[in-house]
Every structure is written in structure tokens, then in C-alpha cells.
Amino acid sequence: MSLTVTHEPDASRYSVHRGDELQGWIDYDVAGGTLRLLHAEVPPLMRNKGVGGEVVQAILDEVRNTRAEPVQPVCGFVRMWMRRHPEYDDLARR
């Protein structure tokens, strides 16, 4: 089953589900015309199984398709993931 990204603007986060099960989320804010990804969270039982990377990728794909502003990865995990995946460099704030 694939991941579904849901933008929750009232909570300033993107949540990711597989079916009805929450797989993780990323909290964000928008400052100076930049979407800042502040904190990524994956439930403890889902950690170290590649879910975090799937969550980041699903959210970045959603951002690429629906938002115009650049992304600034404030969260250390998101920053590391983006360094390892240069195909998302076009989203990064320069």
C-alpha cells in the first residue's frame, strides 16, 4: 500500500499515512517565502525500517507538485536525507 501525504495547514504539518495508519509527519513553518521543515517524527515502532526516508520523500514530492516556495530543511534528519538524495536539490533554498 502506498503512502498518502496530507497537508494539515491548521497544524502546520504534513502527515503521512499508509492506509489508516499514521506513518509520520513533518512540522513546518513559512518564513521569508521559504517553507522550513522543522521536525520529522516517525512512531518508535516504525523507526529504523526506512519509513522516515519514505515520509520525507513523500512530503518533498507533494511539496514539489503543489508549492512554489523553496524548502529549507531545518530538521537534521531531513537535511541528511536531502544531502543523500541530490535529485531534490531543486527544492532547496539557495
Q: The domain spanning residue 57 has which CATH number? A: 3.40.630.30
In a domain, 49, yes or no: yes
Average pLDDT over residues 28-54: 89
Residue 29 belongs to domain spanning: 3-88
Domains contained in the chain, number: 1
Give, to the nearest 10 degrees, the angle between helix 76-84 and helix 51-66.
80
Q: What is the C-alpha separation between 82 and 57, in angstroms, rounded? A: 9
In this prediction, residue 2 carries a pLDDT of: 82
Q: Cell numbers of 76, please?
A: 537534521
The residue count for the chain: 94
pTM attached to this predicted model: 0.87
Quote the pLDDT of residue 14. Answer: 92
Pairing of strands 34-41, 13-18: unpaired
